[in-house]
Amino acid sequence: MPQETNRFMRLFALLLTPLLLAACDAPKQADASAEPPLAGALIGGDFALTGEDGKTVEWKEFAGQWRIVYFGYTFCPDVCPVDAVAIGQGLRQFEKDSPEQGKNVTPIFITVDPERDTPEVLAEFTDSFHPRMIGLTGSVDDIAATAKKFVVWFEKGEPTENGGYLVNHTNQTVLFDPQGNPVALLPTDKGGKAVAQDLAKWVK
């Protein structure tokens, strides 16, 4: 009986091994063919806003480029600058690692505070984070319409003691492909290294 049992166990192991190997390989195959998490999402759309030079900038002008889109404002005391730093650091790292792909990624910062964020103010702000970061502003109505297309909520807060105000808004960084389709949310909350890793994952 012991010999019969041993033969059975060896046969069982031989039959089971291919199944285990297949199971181990399955996650790798799934990752390799993974669909972008935002595929098919209704995020983005045409707009005509004002660039840092005062000229009109339209969404269609970025056709053929990967785009990182972030809605925020320059007077933001904490979150927006931190996210902008992560975008700038992540893109610079990606440009260093993959020069050809990196130069085809355009970071876009759209203000949710058009009353204070003039083209001049935006230019100074964006230049602090990446030389190719584009700042866009416009009328209150134009910004509101654009934010709606990009599924961004914002609301002007109550005046503070010094006469200023905060703007509450959706905090998300979205990567779009060269056709203008949403691909993924970039993890700016985890820093520039994480952003660079995700750019390397999606931008080909």
pLDDT along the chain (204 residues), means of 10: 40 36 36 80 98 98 98 96 98 98 98 98 98 98 98 94 92 97 98 98 96
130 labelled binding-site residue: no
Domain shared by 3 and 78, yes or no: no
Domain shared by 154 and 193, yes or no: yes
- Can you read off the two tokens belonging to residue 162? 């010094």
Which residues form the domain of 28?
A: 1-34
80 labelled binding-site residue: yes
Domain shared by 128 and 181, yes or no: yes
User: Torsion over CA of 168, 172, 178 and 183, rounded to 10 degrees?
Assistant: -140
Q: How would DSSP label each residue in 61-80?
A: GGTTSEEEEEEE-TT-SSHH
Give the largest Cα separation in the chain, rounded.
Answer: 90
Domain shared by 142 and 190, yes or no: yes
Domain shared by 102 and 181, yes or no: yes
Domain shared by 168 and 109, yes or no: yes
84 in any annotated domain: yes
Phi, psi of 70 (to 5 degrees): -135, 135
pLDDT at residue 163, rounded to an integer: 83
148 in any annotated domain: yes
Domain shared by 13 and 95, yes or no: no
142 in any annotated domain: yes
Count CB-CB contacts under 10 A for residue 108.
23
Domain shared by 77 and 170, yes or no: yes
Domain shared by 166 and 105, yes or no: yes
76 labelled binding-site residue: yes
pLDDT at residue 187, rounded to an integer: 98
43 in any annotated domain: no
pLDDT at residue 141, rounded to an integer: 97
pLDDT at residue 161, rounded to an integer: 83
Report the phi/psi class of residue 40: left, alpha or beta, with left for phi > 0 and alpha for psi in -120 to 50. left
Domain shared by 146 and 180, yes or no: yes
Domain shared by 87 and 151, yes or no: yes
pLDDT at residue 93, rounded to an integer: 98
Strand order of the β-sheet with 182-185 is: 134-136, 105-111, 66-72, 173-176, 182-185
145 in any annotated domain: yes
The set of residues, in sequence order, having a beta carbon less than 8 Å from that of 120 and lying 6+ positions away, is 52
Domain shared by 53 and 25, yes or no: no
- Overall domain count for the chain: 2
